[in-house]
């Protein structure tokens, strides 16, 4: 946890547990996305939680990074059907539970642009109170209702600190869905899936620019069976 940070083009990298030079922060102008001390404190806090709990230590984390509509959720469900003793746990689960209670099922199921904006607004509001809000709930769920599950599939890593948390576990498989058009993330696009004035979209862009994932799903081939087989092969090494 005390490794020296490496800065490249305003991006800050750090050796985190089992991942060398993981993106941990980005400097935009005179400010960082995260207060620099936050990263060290966050890594220390959650590392202690994970390593002090036998069931958490034993878990294998499989996480996906990718844009909206790229096939992450489909692959997650398919992989879960193949993998016994697995659990699908989305970081956005708290938002979805609240939205499901507040709005008609038809509105949620059709997934209009307004729904995406609701998710983004709720997430930003909660993170404004505490950056660790969703991370705390994620670990609490792993320690609670899914405590006996070995394989955890997380299909919605959008923030840098979320990816850091994944790599505090000893057994991790990272999967990136190559964006069909990364340039869409560089403008203030009115489409909520690409609007980089939204923190989640901006941070997703930074994650998509990284090339240190275990598996990269090419944009011209979204074969879930092929990707799932690669994941299963990697799991045999654990």
Q: Which residue has the higher pLDDT, 69 or 204?
A: 204
Between strands 6-8 and 11-16, the pairing is antiparallel
Asked if the structure places residue 68 within a domain, the reply is yes
Asked if the structure places residue 25 within a domain, the reply is no
Q: Which domain holds residue 106?
A: 55-235
Among the residue ranges 74-78, 143-147, 200-204, the one predicted with the least confidence is 143-147
Question: Across the chain, where does the E strand assignment appear?
Answer: 6-8, 11-16, 19-28, 31-32, 60-65, 86-88, 151-154, 171-177, 215-217
Q: What is the CA radius of gyration of the chain?
A: 17
Tell me how far the alpha carbon of residue 227 is from its chain's centroid.
18
Cβ pair 23, 162 in contact under 8 A: no
Q: Which residue has the higher pLDDT, 146 or 140?
A: 140
Helix (H, G, I), strand (E, B) or coil at 49: helix
Among the residue ranges 17-21, 46-50, 192-196, the one predicted with the least confidence is 192-196
Among the residue ranges 17-21, 153-157, 170-174, the one predicted with the least confidence is 17-21
The residue-averaged pLDDT of 148-156 equals: 93
- Residue 143 clears pLDDT 80, i.e. is over it: yes
Between strands 31-32 and 151-154, the pairing is unpaired
Asked if the structure places residue 39 within a domain, the reply is no
- Residue 125 clears pLDDT 70, i.e. is over it: yes
Q: Which residues contact 6 (CB under 8 A, 6 or more apart)?
A: 12, 13, 14, 21
Asked if the structure places residue 1 within a domain, the reply is no
What's the pLDDT at 196?
75
Asked if the structure places residue 41 within a domain, the reply is no
Average pLDDT for the chain: 89
Asked if the structure places residue 19 within a domain, the reply is no
Place of tokens 């209702």: 145
Asked if the structure places residue 152 within a domain, the reply is yes
CA distance 114 to 102: 14
Can you give the pTM of this predicted structure? 0.91
* Beta bridge partners of residue 82, listed in sequence order: none
State how far the alpha carbon of 117 is from the alpha carbons of 20, 111, 123, 198, 225, in Å.
34, 10, 10, 9, 32
**2 pLDDT tier (thresholds 50, 70, 90):** very low
Number of domains in the chain: 1
Cβ pair 206, 196 in contact under 8 A: no
Domain with residue 212: its CATH number is 3.40.50.300
- Residue 3 clears pLDDT 70, i.e. is over it: no
What are the tens digits of pLDDT across the range 167-211? 999 999 999 999 988 888 876 677 777 777 788 889 999 999 999
State how far the alpha carbon of 166 is from the alpha carbons of 43, 59, 68, 187, 199, in Å.
11, 11, 20, 29, 19
Place of tokens 């998509």: 208
Asked if the structure places residue 184 within a domain, the reply is yes
């Amino acid at each position: 946890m005390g490794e020296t940070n490496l800065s490249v083009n305003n991006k800050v990298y750090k050796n985190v547990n089992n991942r060398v030079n993981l993106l941990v922060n980005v400097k935009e102008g005179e400010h960082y996305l995260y207060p620099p001390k936050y990263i060290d404190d966050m890594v220390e806090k959650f590392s202690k939680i994970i390593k002090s709990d036998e069931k958490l230590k034993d878990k294998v984390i499989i996480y996906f990074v990718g844009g909206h509509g790229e096939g992450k959720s489909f692959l997650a469900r398919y992989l879960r059907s193949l993998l016994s003793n697995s659990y699908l746990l989305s970081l956005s689960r708290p938002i979805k539970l609240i939205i499901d209670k507040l709005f008609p099922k038809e509105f949620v199921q059709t997934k209009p642009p307004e729904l995406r904006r609701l998710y983004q607004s709720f997430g930003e509001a909660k993170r404004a109170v505490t950056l660790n809000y969703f991370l705390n709930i994620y670990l609490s769920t792993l320690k609670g209702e899914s405590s006996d599950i070995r394989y955890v599939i997380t299909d919605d890593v959008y923030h840098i600190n979320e990816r850091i948390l994944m790599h505090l576990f000893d057994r991790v498989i990272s999967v990136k869905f190559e964006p069909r058009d990364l340039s869409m993330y560089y403008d203030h696009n009115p489409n909520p899936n690409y609007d980089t004035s939204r923190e989640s979209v901006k941070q997703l862009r930074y994650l998509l620019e990284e090339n240190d994932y275990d598996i990269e799903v090419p944009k011209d081939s979204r074969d879930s069976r092929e990707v799932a087989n690669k994941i299963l092969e990697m799991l045999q090494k654990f």
